[in-house]
């Protein structure tokens, strides 16, 4: 039996998305083109493959059995063919799907986008939620090409690389009546706090750091993203404990000031992970290298600032 390899990415996109519209967007196809490809695949395999339901498309038993075989086959082809191809970032129009956590999205993604605009202006990025685990992000299946943040318990088919480390500092409003140029432990524990609850494991790290140093916090407000913090702090006498690189960016806001934490709260790692199928992909390797270089630059600048005593106002 002859198989059209062009149909296999369509099959995998539908397996991952369970939705014709999203699968078409991911592949850069129109919905009618993707539907035609699915019909051809159904005719070839003599199976409906996907059954339409109220909230999406459910794979048939054949589709479930076929998916890991197709993924493995395409991964092998990617490694052999991709390793032989030349990659020119200035000419590529490839789209990458990345899953940065909220910290990376705030700190590194703007720098990454600016650098890509200079050296690879036609590369397209699609950001997807970081989620609570690598399965949820689509990284384990290879649907999401890179995950950036704190990577915990990766499976065997994922490669993890350390990018940088960051520490923690505090943000209060510029004209806070009780806080000057430093923050004592007594002041910190007396104040009310804005707490950030992003998805993933980073929040666990902060809670553990506070507990290990015996530092207490009276949390008045919990938010889900770093972007909510400056508005909360600027109109209150609250304090927020945030990664130092985020604090450096918030220090540009004239309503706020950044101070060292009253005790050293340690550091946390920032990592990047990808499916082994992308190990030798030239474009993927190039983008990984660019991200690693940017993270190294940002981490170095942060370390220099820390050694100068957080003079970022």
CATH number of 37's domain: 1.10.10.10
Q: pLDDT tens, 200-231? A: 454 556 777 888 888 899 999 999 888 899 99
Q: What DSSP designation does 198 have?
A: -
User: What is the structure's pLDDT at 171?
Assistant: 96
Q: pLDDT tens, 272-287? A: 999 988 888 899 999 9
d(CA 205, CA 33): 47
Q: Using alpha carbons, list the distances in angstroms from residue 71 to 63, 65, 142, 154.
A: 12, 11, 9, 19
Specify the 3-state DSSP secondary structure of 275.
strand
> Can you spell out the DSSP letters for 173-194?
ETT-TT--S---HHHHHHSEEE
Same domain, 17 and 147: no
d(CA 238, CA 232): 8
In a domain, 90, yes or no: no
User: What is the structure's pLDDT at 129?
Assistant: 87
pLDDT band at 176 (very low <50, low <70, confident <90, very high): very high
Domain boundary among 27, 54, 82: 82
Q: pTM for this structure?
A: 0.70
Q: Quick one: which of 77, 16, 9 has its CA closest to 41? A: 9
In a domain, 10, yes or no: yes
Same domain, 260 and 174: yes
Percentage of residues in the chain having pLDDT higher than 70:
89
Specify the 3-state DSSP secondary structure of 223.
strand
User: What is the structure's pLDDT at 56?
Assistant: 83
Tell me whether strands 218-223 and 158-173 are parallel, antiparallel or unpaired.
unpaired
Average pLDDT over every residue of 41-55: 90
Average pLDDT over every residue of 239-265: 93
Q: pLDDT tens, 34-43? A: 999 999 999 9
Same domain, 150 and 73: no
pLDDT band at 308 (very low <50, low <70, confident <90, very high): very low
Percentage of residues in the chain having pLDDT higher than 90:
55
Angle CA 74–77–81, to nearest 5: 140
In this predicted structure, the answer to whether residue 313 has a pLDDT above a threshold of 50 is no
In a domain, 87, yes or no: no
């Amino acid at each position: 039996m002859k198989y059209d390899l062009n149909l296999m990415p369509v099959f995998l996109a539908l397996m991952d998305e369970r939705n014709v519209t999203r699968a078409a967007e991911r592949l850069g196809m129109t919905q009618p083109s993707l539907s035609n490809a699915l019909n051809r695949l159904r005719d070839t395999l003599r199976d409906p493959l996907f059954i339409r339901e109220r909230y999406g498309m459910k794979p048939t038993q054949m589709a479930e059995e076929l998916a890991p075989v197709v993924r493995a086959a395409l991964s092998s082809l990617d490694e052999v063919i991709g390793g032989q191809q030349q990659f020119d970032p200035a000419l590529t129009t490839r789209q990458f799907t990345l899953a940065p956590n909220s910290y990376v999205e705030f700190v590194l993604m703007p720098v990454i986008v600016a650098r890509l605009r200079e050296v690879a202006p036609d590369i397209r990025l699609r950001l997807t939620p970081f989620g609570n685990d690598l399965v949820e992000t689509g990284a384990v299946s290879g649907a999401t090409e890179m995950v950036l943040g704190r990577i915990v318990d990766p499976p065997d088919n994922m490669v993890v690389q350390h990018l940088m480390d960051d520490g923690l500092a505090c943000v209060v409003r510029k004209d806070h009546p009780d806080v000057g140029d430093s923050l004592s432990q007594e002041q910190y524990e007396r104040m009310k706090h804005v707490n950030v609850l992003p998805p993933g494991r980073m929040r666990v790290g902060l809670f553990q750091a506070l507990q290990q140093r015996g530092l207490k916090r009276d949390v008045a407000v919990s938010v889900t993203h770093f972007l909510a913090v400056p508005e909360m702090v600027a109109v209150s006498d609250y304090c927020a404990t945030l990664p130092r690189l985020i604090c450096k960016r918030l220090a540009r806001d004239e309503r706020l000031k950044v101070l060292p934490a009253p005790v050293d709260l340690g550091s946390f790692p920032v990592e990047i992970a990808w499916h082994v199928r992308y190990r030798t992909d030239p474009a993927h390797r190039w983008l990984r290298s660019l991200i690693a270089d940017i993270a190294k630059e940002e981490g170095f600048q942060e370390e220099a600032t820390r050694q100068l005593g957080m003079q970022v106002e």
